[in-house]
Structure 1
């Protein structure tokens, strides 16, 4: 499997998502996070976009969100998170297991993703991820195997305050199993709000 090509393709898609300003519909807004959605071009569901401001620089935020020594300590949604193979300096295979939800009504999910870190001019740093087939991580009987369509984090410095950054998160997961799509779609906006808020709190605790 050509992981470098997959990394380049998913990075281009996340860049295009970040530049796309049309068709987004507001679905949830809190004091610190705004979530919107639009139909996905990747599968029959929707792509969700969460936006918030974080008090840190893009380089530190992105490392905090994808390196296991940080992510496993602050992300309350995850049972486990590990990088199981480094393809090159900026590309790795990631294995993620989520907690169950709704008092066990939604079983834990596992994902095997390629993740690629890419930097752009102007201080923009991104993670770019998509689920891949990986022979060394077969499907487990303990979890439902999910599939992440192209997703990622886009982090950029705020011009008016260089000590703060805008974090934009794109997700479009297929959770697998027998879950009705309506259940999945109703949960994703709140999951995005929690992710961005947990990032903000975790950064203060672990990097202060």
Structure 2
């Protein structure tokens, strides 16, 4: 069984750097959606905080908050086998790509 997720949204992302080294990123969904190019669905936000570690100028603490939603499935989710492969791949890719991007920063 394959699952179809709602990560097909185009968002505007603002990244702000603060004097203490903290970085924030805020996104806003573009409005109004063009229905011929997108389908109506929900998009749950993922929030990442990058916080400099005191006394460790080359290290950052990354905290991520996310919500998974298997819309249309009753609670609780029918089987762990259905849920387990649906989320970790995308987050694994996110962290792997983040690690590669950070290594490229001079």
Change over 3 Å in CA distance of 1:146–1:198 after alignment to 2: farther
Greater Rg by CA:
2
Task: Give TM-score, length-normalised by structure 2.
Answer: 0.57
Q: Please give the per-residue CA displacement for 1:18-59, whole angstroms capped at 9, x wherever unaligned.
A: xxxxxxxxxxxxxxxxxxxxxxxxxxxxxxxxxxxxxxxxxx
TM-score (norm 1): 0.35
Deviations 1:61-97 (A, max 9, x none): xxxxxxxxxxxxxxxxxxxxxxxxxxxxxxxxxxxxx
Structure 1 CA distance, aligned partners of 2:10 and 2:26?
13
Deviations 1:118-166 (A, max 9, x none): 4456321111335x4612x41346x655433343221121224211212
2:57 corresponds to which of 157, 162, 172: 162
Higher RCO (Cα < 8 Å, 6 or more apart): 1
In the alignment, does 2:26 pair up with 1:128?
A: yes
Unaligned runs of 5+ in 1: 1-101
| Equivalences, count | 98
Higher helix share: 1
Instruction: Please state which structure has a larger fraction of its residues in strand.
Output: 1
Structure 1 pair 161–146 and aligned structure 2 pair: CA distance change class (3 A): farther
List aligned pairs for 1:1-208, cutoff 5 A.
Answer: 105-107=2-4, 109=6, 110-120=8-18, 122-129=20-27, 132=29, 134-135=31-32, 137-140=33-36, 144-172=39-67, 174=69, 178=72, 180=73, 182=77, 183=82, 186=84, 187-204=86-103, 206-207=104-105
